Amino acid sequence: MDNKTEKKYLKENLDEQKNPEDIKKFIEDVELLGGHDDLVEEARQRYTKVVEEAGGNSGELDKRTLEVDGEISAINEETKKEIGEIESLPTTEVAVEVPPDSPNVDIKLDEEKQKIEKIKKLDEDMDVLFNQLASSLPGQIKNFVDSPEYKKLLELNQKRNVEEKSLFEIYERYTKLNPEHHRGFSTQNFDNYGSQYEEDMKYAGASEDTLKRFKNFVEKFRKPELEARKDYDDTYTRDINTPKWNFENELKAKSGEIFGEDRYAADEYNGKYYNLYQEKFSEAQKKIIPDKELYINTVGTIYS
DSSP string, 166-231: HHHHHHHHHHTT-GGG---EEHHHHHHHHHHHHHHHHHTT--HHHHHHHHHHIIIIIHHHHHHHHH
pLDDT of residue 191: 87
Per-residue pLDDT of 95-123, as tens digits, reads 445 455 556 666 778 778 888 999 999 99
DSSP 93: G
Rounded Cα distance, 218 and 139, in Å: 36
Map out the domains of the chain as residue ranges. Answer: 3-97, 110-303
For the chain, the average pLDDT equals 83
With 0.75 as the threshold, say if the pTM is over it: no
248 by Cβ neighbours in 10 Å (0-12 / 13-18 / 19+) ranks as middle
Q: What mean pLDDT do residues 258-286 have?
A: 94
Helix residue ranges per DSSP H, the chain: 3-16, 20-33, 37-53, 58-87, 104-145, 148-175, 187-203, 208-217, 223-236, 242-259, 263-288
In the predicted model, is pLDDT for residue 210 greater than 60?
Answer: yes
Dist. CA 57–CA 60, nearest whole Å: 5
For the stretch 134-190, pLDDT in tens is 999 999 999 999 999 999 999 999 999 999 999 999 999 999 888 889 988 988 888
pLDDT tens string 18-56: 778 888 877 877 777 677 778 778 878 887 777 777 655
